[in-house]
Copies of this chain bind each other. A is one copy, B any other.
Amino acid sequence: MNHKLFPLVSADIALFSLGDDRLQVLLVRRTDAPHKGHWALPGAVLKPEIDQRLEDTARRALREKLGVEVPFLQQLRVFDGPLRDPRGWSVSVLYCALLQRDRVRATAQFRVDEICWADADAVGDLAFDHRAHVAAARDDLRGRVRDRALPLHLLPEKFTLTQLQRVCELVLRQDSSDPLALDKGAFRRRLTGCQDFEAVEGEFERGPQRPAQLYRASPGFRF
């Protein structure tokens, strides 16, 4: 089979999560050539006989390599060319996913593949052109949150508005010294009428202060 006549098609995933009060992205150490031993985004080559959609390829990669299931995969863009993969002409479709950190630990911690969380703004050299993938996905994520999208999947199932605000601040903050803080009043005002989440009636986060109403993502929420 001559690879020169058919491009390699793969799906790669930028899986983001919050850790150490920073936006981080999941990396895996490659166990096979090419770039064996180097860090890369999780991904897989499309298997036409198995995958019904390229998104299935992405989900398969996350499941097989990490044992992770994500609630939503956002197709971002394509990276292509004859040189980005030493095996030849290749097409990589980049997907973006968000996941609460605990959900990854719970399912992936016993896998043998070596993984790590890298700061989204300080990734080192990666295999292929994955560094550009991370930059594109991170910028897209920031842009969406700046444009008022709510990254609810970075939060636990039930969350308070203060936690939601904190998550948005961490996503938007480009470096830890940045004292970016959203205004509480303005933040909550713009959430009124938002259909993306709903109050869990009668449930509150309790502590040594006034209880905080708990919310959850709406059934059809995507992001």
CA distance A54 to B82 in the complex (A): 10
Binds B, one of A3-11, A17-25, A103-111: A3-11
Q: How many copies of this protein are present in the complex?
A: 2
Are A77 and B80 closer than 8 Å at their CB atoms? no
Any chain B CB within 8 A of the CB of A88? yes
CA distance A93 to B79 in the complex (A): 11
Smallest CB gap from A54: residue in B: B80
Neighbouring B residues of A52 by C-beta, 8 Å: 81-82
Smallest CB gap from A48: residue in B: B89
Q: Chain A: interface residue count, which band?
A: 20 to 34
Chain B min CB distance to A133 (Å)? 14
Chain B min CB distance to A150 (Å)? 19
Neighbouring B residues of A188 by C-beta, 8 Å: none
CA distance A77 to B76 in the complex (A): 7
Query: Which of B7, B49, B75, B77 sits near A46, CB closer than 8 Å?
Result: B7
Neighbouring B residues of A80 by C-beta, 8 Å: 53-54, 93
Residues of A within 8 A of B (CB): 1-2, 4-7, 9, 46, 48-49, 52-54, 75, 77-78, 80-82, 88-89, 91, 93
Task: Name 20 A/B residue pairs within 8 A (Cβ), A-sorted.
Answer: A1-B5, A1-B6, A4-B48, A7-B9, A7-B46, A7-B48, A9-B9, A9-B91, A48-B82, A48-B88, A48-B89, A52-B81, A53-B81, A54-B80, A75-B77, A75-B78, A78-B78, A78-B93, A91-B91, A91-B93
